[in-house]
Every structure is written in structure tokens, then in C-alpha cells.
Amino acid sequence: MRIVTGGAGFIGSNIVQALTERGYDDVVVVDELTDGHKFVNIATLPIADYLDKDEFAVRLSADKGFAKGITAILHLGACSETTEWDGRYMMQNNYGYSKKLLHHCLAHETQFIYASSAAVYGGSKQFVEDPVFENPLNMYGYSKIQFDRYVRRVAADAKSQIVGLRYFNVYGPHEQHKGSMASVVFHFNKQVREDGEARLFAGTDGYADGEQVRDFVYVDDVCKVNLWFLDNPDVSGIFNAGSGRAQSFNVVADAVIKWHGKGKIRYIPFPAHLEGAYQSFTQADLTQLRQSGCDVVFRSVEDGVKDYLDQIG
């Protein structure tokens, strides 16, 4: 039995789809569907079962037969709101819950592949999996780095695979429920379709209008990374999961406009509430990922955006 937490969410549902397309018939989705709109992400997928996140935690500790039947947990469930400042809520969801799953996997020698985030680097200009470069700017980033630190401390002598993947700016199908947290590709596509323009932030942090750069990574490529680690259970560690290529928001907008064959860019003032809590530059260092043996090829924004928009229209 393969468990995908956050399996009705963006990255999680894409991983569920990739697993079922492989022919796995034992995939169990764990999520929390207070926002029922997410159901569309898994409605057509042949999953074995669905469990609420709280029910899953109870069954892990109370049902020994269920617990022993788990071969891998791919843990994508989290509060991913980078603007959420309720630290107690964030730590309960992203830190405390993750620790419960980690300790289950350590005790049962079960593969554990979990979602970390590039948010752990904060304002750093180097994105290398080393504590010296980790300096989160918000509660989301702190919750993720604190779990990474915990993993480094307690899982050093683990007898089974423990992998943390630091996702950069992931975009692709199944993100429509994320609202303001959906990718800029999603938002630019909606804006161009409805208003004929893509709205980008004006210059900040020394960057010209729309020239802030991020490591945009297509969700299909992220799924391939997860499957690679699932297929290589002897490899453990914390790894960047990005394209290794920094591209500007202007490039993203141009790719969306090119797909539509119409549209223009308009720059809007940089939001005051994001000052000091915004990453103007990210670029994954893939040295450690490549040293692990993972050879997944990451698509450029131009290629990824075309594939994405071809699917959603």
C-alpha cells in the first residue's frame, strides 16, 4: 500500500496520477477535504481508498495490520500558504503531523518521501542543501526548515529511505483550487484569457520591472523525481527539486501570451505587505540531486508552459 498525503492537492494528485498510470492499484489518498473543490483532482483516478488526515493518523497508531501494510508514504500534505502567520496552526500541520509520519516510517522501515520547500532558503542568494544558506522569511518556510532539521537529527541512522524534496516554483495541472497560491502561470493564463493582459510586479530589490527571477519547475518533472526515489530506496537525503534554471516573470508571461497568440504585459506596484518577505531570486543547485544518481531532465518554462496550457486551455 502506497500512501500519498495531500493526495487531492496540486503536487499530490499529480503524483497519485503518475502512480496509478504505472499500474499500482494500492494507492491510498490522504487529505482534508473541507475545501471540497479539490475532489476534481482525483475524481477520475483509480485509487484504492481515501482517508481523512486525522483518521489516517489514528489508524497508523491503532491499527497494526493497516500500519504494517504500508510500503511507502509520499508526504505532500501541508499548509502551503506563504502568507499565513498563525504559527501555532502552521507548526501543527506542517511540523507536528510530519513528525508522526516520520516516526512511523522509522519504526517500520518504510520509505518516506516528503515535501520540503525552497522557502527554507528565504533571502539567501545560494540554494544549496546546507544549513549555512537556510534563512526562511515566513512561517511556512520556518515550518519546513524546522522539519528538515529534525530529519537530519533523528534519521541519520535510519534503516529505510528518508528523502526530503525542496520544491521550487512548481506549476502545472490540478492547481486551480489554490487561489492566490496558484502559480503565476495559472494566474497569467487567466488574466490574458479574460483581460488580454498579464499583470506583473514592478521592479524591486534592484530588479527591473518583471525581471525578478525564479526557478520554475513543471509538476510532471517533479513527479518523475518522486518516482525515481521510489525506485531507488537505498538513496536518502534532502535534495533540491527545481529545474536548476532561473527565469524571469517576463519570460513566463511571454510564454503564456505566445500560447494565446494575443495579450500584453502590464506592471503593477509591488505590494507593501510582501516587502522583506519575498524571494526575488531562486535557482536550485542540483549538484546533490545529480550526485544521488537522479537523472530527470527538467523542462524550460517555454516548454512546460506550452504543455500545461495545451492541457487546460
Listed in sequence order, the DSSP H helices in 63-209 are 64-68, 87-91, 97-108, 139-154, 184-195
Q: Specify the CATH architecture of the domain 2-168+218-242.
A: 3-Layer(aba) Sandwich (3.40)
Sequence-distant (6+) residues with CB within 8 A of 101 are: 5, 60, 73, 75, 112, 114
Mean pLDDT for the chain overall = 95
Q: Which class for 146: exposed (0-12), middle (13-18), buried (19 or more C-beta within 10 A)?
A: middle
Helix (H) or strand (E) holding 5: strand 2-5
Q: pLDDT by residue (tens digit) across 159-181?
A: 999 999 999 999 999 999 999 88
- Give pTM, 2 decimals: 0.95
Instruction: Classify residue 299 by its DSSP letter.
Output: P
Categorize the per-residue pLDDT at 200 as very low, low, confident or very high, splitting at 50, 70 and 90: very high
How confident is the model at residue 227, as a pLDDT?
98
| The pLDDT of residue 84 | 82
pLDDT of residue 162: 98
Instruction: Quote the cell numbers at residue 105.
Output: 516510517
pLDDT range class, residue 127, cuts 50, 70, 90: very high
Instruction: Select from 3.90.870.30, 3.90.1170.50, 3.40.50.880, 3.90.25.10 the CATH code of 171-213+246-281+301-312.
Output: 3.90.25.10
pLDDT at 82 over 80: no
Mean pLDDT on 188-196: 97
pLDDT in tens, 300-312: 999 999 999 999 9
Would you state the pLDDT for residue 85?
84
CA 237 to chain centre: 17
> Does the structure show a pLDDT above 90 at 295?
yes
Task: Parse the chain into domains and list their residue ranges.
Answer: 2-168+218-242, 171-213+246-281+301-312
Q: CA of 117: how far to CAs of 44, 84, 127, 201, 277, in Å?
A: 28, 15, 11, 23, 15
Give the tens place of pLDDT for each residue, 256-287: 999 999 999 999 999 888 877 678 899 999 99
Pairing, β 237-241 against β 162-167? parallel
pLDDT tens string 16-27? 999 999 999 999
191 and 199 in contact (C-beta within 8 Å)?
A: yes
> Which residues are part of the catalytic machinery?
140, 178
